[in-house]
Amino acid sequence: MRPFDARTTGEREDSLMRELGALEREARRSPALADALFERACALVPVMPLKVQIQTTTRCNAACAMCPYPVVTAEPGFDHAVMDEDRYLRILADLGGGEIERLSLFLMNEPLLDRRLPRWLARARAALPGTALGLFTNGAALDGRRARELAAAGLDELCVSVHGFDPATYERVMVGLSYERTRRHLDEVLEAAAAGELGAMHVQLVTGDVPEVAATRELAPLRYRDRIVLKGFSNERAAVGVDPGLVGGGCGDAGGALCHRPFVKLYILTTGDCVLCNVDWRRTVLLGRVGDADGPGVADVWHGAPYTAIRREHFTRAAARAAICSRCDYAAVVDRE
* Residue 238, pLDDT score: 67
Q: Is 72 exposed, middle or buried (CB count within 10 Å of its CB: 0-12, 13-18, 19+)? A: middle
Three-state secondary-structure class, residue 268: strand
Per-residue pLDDT of the chain (337 residues; tens, 9 = 90+): 666 777 778 899 999 999 999 999 999 999 999 999 999 999 999 999 999 999 999 999 999 988 999 999 999 999 999 999 999 999 999 999 778 999 999 999 999 999 999 999 999 999 999 999 999 999 999 999 999 999 999 999 999 999 999 999 999 999 999 999 999 999 999 999 999 999 999 999 999 888 889 899 999 999 999 999 988 877 766 666 656 555 444 433 445 678 899 999 999 999 999 999 999 999 999 999 999 999 999 999 999 999 999 999 999 988 887 788 888 877 777 655 4
d(CA 139, CA 82): 20
* Residue 253, pLDDT score: 45
User: Of the candidates 328, 331, 308, which has an alpha carbon nearest to the alpha carbon of residue 41?
Assistant: 308
d(CA 35, CA 331): 23
d(CA 336, CA 253): 12
* Residue 158, pLDDT score: 98
Residue 200's CB: how many other CB atoms inside 10 A?
9
d(CA 165, CA 177): 13
d(CA 204, CA 157): 8
User: Of the candidates 314, 316, 336, 334, which has an alpha carbon nearest to the alpha carbon of residue 325?
Assistant: 314
Look up the pTM and report it: 0.92
* Residue 49, pLDDT score: 96
